[in-house]
C-alpha cells in the first residue's frame, strides 16, 4: 500500500499504457479499411461483415462502464492485464481462416478487451500522474486513441495489400505482450474503500438490460436494409429495444449501485464532454464510408485508400499536443468548439464527389487534414474535462461512461454510415451512397458543436 501511495507514473508505465490502448484503437479498428477483402475471405454477406466490424466497438461500449466499476473495486492494473490477455485471445481467433464465426467471436472478445483497458488505464493515469504530468499522460493516451484511429486505415490498408490482413493481428499479439512487460513494475491501484461500497453488489441486471437494448438497435441498423424496415424481425427488435431501454432507465434510478450513475451528469462540463465525445466518435464512420467508396467506386487498392488518410494521421498527432497547450491557456471550451468546427469542415470537403476524380482525391487529402486537426484539437481538452470533474471514488466509473460514449459512438457511427452507404449505393449510386453516409457524420459534428457551446464552461 505504501508503494502505491509513493509511486509516481514514469515513461515506462506511460509507454505500456499507450501500447495497451492501441490494441483497440489501432489494431482492432484496422478492419475498417478491409471490408471488401473480408467479404472475399469469408464469403459472407455484407451485413455480416458490417456487424463484425462494428461489434468490437459496440461490446466495448456496452461493457466499459461495468469494467470501470470493477477496476475501481478489484484493481485497475488487474483489469488492464485481463484486457491485454483477452486482446491476445481475440486476435488469435480472428487469424483462424475459414468460418466467419471465428471472426465474430474474436471481434466480440476484442470488444471486451477494450472495455477492460480503457477505463482502467485512464484511472491509472489519474492516480499516478499529477497536474501537468497528468495532462501530458492524457495527451499520450489521446495519441493512442485518436492517433491510433487515425493510422488504422493506413496501417490496415498497407498490411492487407502487401502482407495480408491477418498479419495485423499477429502484430497486435506482440504489442499486447510488450505492454504487459512494460507495466509490470506498477503497483495496484483501487478506489478508496468504505463500508457502503464494499457491501454493494454489481449491477448485473442493469448490464443485461443495456446489452439487450444496444444489441437490438445495432441489429436494427445493420440488418434493416436486408430484412425490410417493417418486417416482423425488425419490428420485434424495435419493440425489444424500447422495452429494455425503458426498463434500464427505471432500474438504474432505483438501484443503489447503478451501472451508470446518472448523478455524474449533474456537472454540465462532464455532460458536454461525454455527449460531444459520443458524437465526434460517431464521425469515425467517415473513414469506412470514404475508404469503401475509394475501393468500390474509384477502384483503388486498400493501400491507396489508406494513403489518402495520411494527412488525417499527421494532423491529429501534431494537433493533440497543441490542444493540451490551448487547454492550459484558454480552458476546454474554445479548443473543443474549434475542434468540432474543423471536423465538420473536413467532412464537407470529403462530400464533394461531383468533382473530377483527381481534383476530388486532392480535396479529400485536404479534407482529412482539416478533419484530423479538429479531432486533435478536441481530444485532450475533452478527456481532461471528463476526468477532472469526476469524484475521486468514481473516477473509474466516470472514465468508463466517458469511454462508453467513445466506443458506442464509434460503433453506431460505423454501423449507420456503412448501412446508409450500402443501401443508397445499391438503390442509386456509389456517389449518392457516400454523400448520404457522410451527411450523417456531418450532422453528428454539428450537434457536437452545439452541445459544447451550451454545456462546457469557458474556464478550467
Domain borders along the chain are 2-191+257-455
- Residue ranges of alpha helices (H) inside 201-267 are 204-227, 232-254
Among 410, 414, 347, 411, residue whose Cα is nearest residue 374: 347
pLDDT of residue 155: 84
pLDDT of residue 117: 92
d(CA 24, CA 247): 31
Predicted TM-score (pTM) of this structure: 0.74
d(CA 118, CA 299): 36
pLDDT of residue 196: 46
pLDDT by residue for the chain (460 residues), tens only, comes to 455 567 877 889 999 999 999 998 888 888 877 777 777 777 767 667 777 777 887 888 778 777 877 888 888 999 999 999 999 999 999 988 777 788 889 999 999 999 899 889 988 988 888 877 887 888 888 788 867 876 787 788 888 888 888 899 999 999 999 999 999 988 888 876 654 455 467 778 888 888 888 888 877 877 776 676 677 888 888 899 899 999 998 988 888 777 777 777 777 888 888 899 999 989 988 888 898 888 888 888 888 888 888 888 888 888 888 888 888 888 888 899 999 999 999 999 999 999 998 999 999 999 999 998 998 899 888 888 887 776 666 666 677 688 778 778 888 888 888 888 888 888 888 889 999 999 999 999 999 999 999 988 776 5
Q: How far is CA 284 from CA 9, 157, 412, in A?
A: 31, 16, 9
Q: Is 194 left (phi over 0), alpha (psi -120 to 50) or beta?
A: beta
Q: Is 167 helix (H, G, I), strand (E, B) or coil?
A: helix
The single-letter DSSP state of residue 301 is -
pLDDT of residue 13: 92
State CA 221 to chain mean position distance: 18
d(CA 361, CA 356): 9
Domain 2-191+257-455 classified CATH 1.10.3720.10? Answer: no
Amino acid at each position: 500500500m505504501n508503494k502505491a501511495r509513493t509511486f509516481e507514473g514514469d515513461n515506462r508505465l506511460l509507454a505500456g499504457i499507450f501500447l495497451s490502448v492501441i490494441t483497440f484503437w489501432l489494431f482492432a479498428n484496422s478492419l475498417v479499411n478491409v471490408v471488401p477483402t473480408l467479404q472475399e475471405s469469408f464469403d459472407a454477406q455484407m451485413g455480416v461483415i458490417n456487424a463484425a466490424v462494428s461489434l468490437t466497438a459496440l461490446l466495448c461500449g456496452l461493457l466499459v462502464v461495468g469494467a470501470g466499476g470493477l477496476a475501481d473495486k478489484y484493481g485497475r492494473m488487474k483489469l488492464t492485464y485481463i484486457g491485454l490477455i483477452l486482446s491476445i485471445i481475440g486476435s488469435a481467433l480472428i487469424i483462424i481462416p475459414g468460418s466467419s464465426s471465428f471472426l465474430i467471436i474474436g471481434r466480440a472478445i476484442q470488444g471486451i478487451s477494450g472495455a477492460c483497458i480503457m477505463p482502467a488505464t485512464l484511472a491509472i493515469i489519474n492516480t499516478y500522474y499529477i497536474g501537468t504530468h497528468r495532462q501530458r499522460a492524457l495527451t499520450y493516451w489521446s495519441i493512442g486513441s485518436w492517433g491510433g484511429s487515425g493510422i488504422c486505415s493506413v496501417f490496415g490498408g498497407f498490411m492487407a495489400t502487401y502482407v495480408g490482413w491477418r498479419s495485423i493481428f499477429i502484430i497486435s499479439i506482440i504489442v499486447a505482450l510488450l505492454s504487459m512487460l512494460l507495466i509490470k513494475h506498477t503497483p495496484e491501484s483501487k478506489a478508496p474503500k468504505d463500508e457502503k461500497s464494499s457491501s454493494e453488489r454489481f449491477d448485473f441486471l442493469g448490464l443485461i438490460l443495456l446489452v439487450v437494448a444496444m444489441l437490438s438497435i445495432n441489429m436494427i441498423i445493420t440488418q434493416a436494409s436486408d430484412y425490410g424496415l417493417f418486417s416482423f424481425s425488425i419490428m420485434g427488435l424495435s419493440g425489444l429495444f424500447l422495452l429494455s431501454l425503458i426498463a434500464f432507465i427505471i432500474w438504474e434510478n432505483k438501484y443503489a449501485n447503478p451501472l451508470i450513475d446518472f448523478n455524474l451528469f449533474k456537472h454540465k462540463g462532464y455532460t458536454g464532454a461525454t455527449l460531444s465525445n459520443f458524437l465526434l466518435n460517431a464521425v469515425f464512420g467517415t473513414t469506412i464510408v470514404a475508404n469503401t467508396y475509394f475501393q468500390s467506386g474509384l477502384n483503388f487498392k486498400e493501400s491507396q485508400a489508406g494513403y489518402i488518410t495520411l494527412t488525417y494521421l499527421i494532423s491529429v498527432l501534431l494537433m493533440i499536443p497543441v490542444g493540451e497547450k490551448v487547454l492550459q491557456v484558454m480552458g476546454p471550451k474554445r479548443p473543443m468548439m474549434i475542434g468540432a468546427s474543423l471536423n465538420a469542415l473536413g467532412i464537407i470537403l470529403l462530400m464533394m464527389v461531383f468533382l473530377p476524380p483527381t481534383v476530388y482525391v486532392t480535396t479529400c487529402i485536404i479534407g482529412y487534414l482539416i478533419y484530423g486537426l479538429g479531432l486533435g484539437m478536441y481530444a485532450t481538452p475533452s478527456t481532461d474535462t471528463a476526468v477532472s470533474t469526476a469524484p475521486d471514488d468514481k473516477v473509474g466509473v466516470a472514465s468508463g461512461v466517458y469511454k462508453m460514449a467513445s466506443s458506442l459512438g464509434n460503433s453506431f457511427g460505423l454501423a449507420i454510415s456503412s448501412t446508409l452507404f450500402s443501401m443508397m449505393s445499391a438503390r442509386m449510386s456509389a456517389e449518392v451512397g457516400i454523400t448520404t453516409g457522410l451527411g450523417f457524420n456531418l450532422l453528428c459534428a454539428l450537434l457536437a458543436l452545439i452541445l459544447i457551446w451550451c454545456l462546457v464552461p469557458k474556464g478550467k
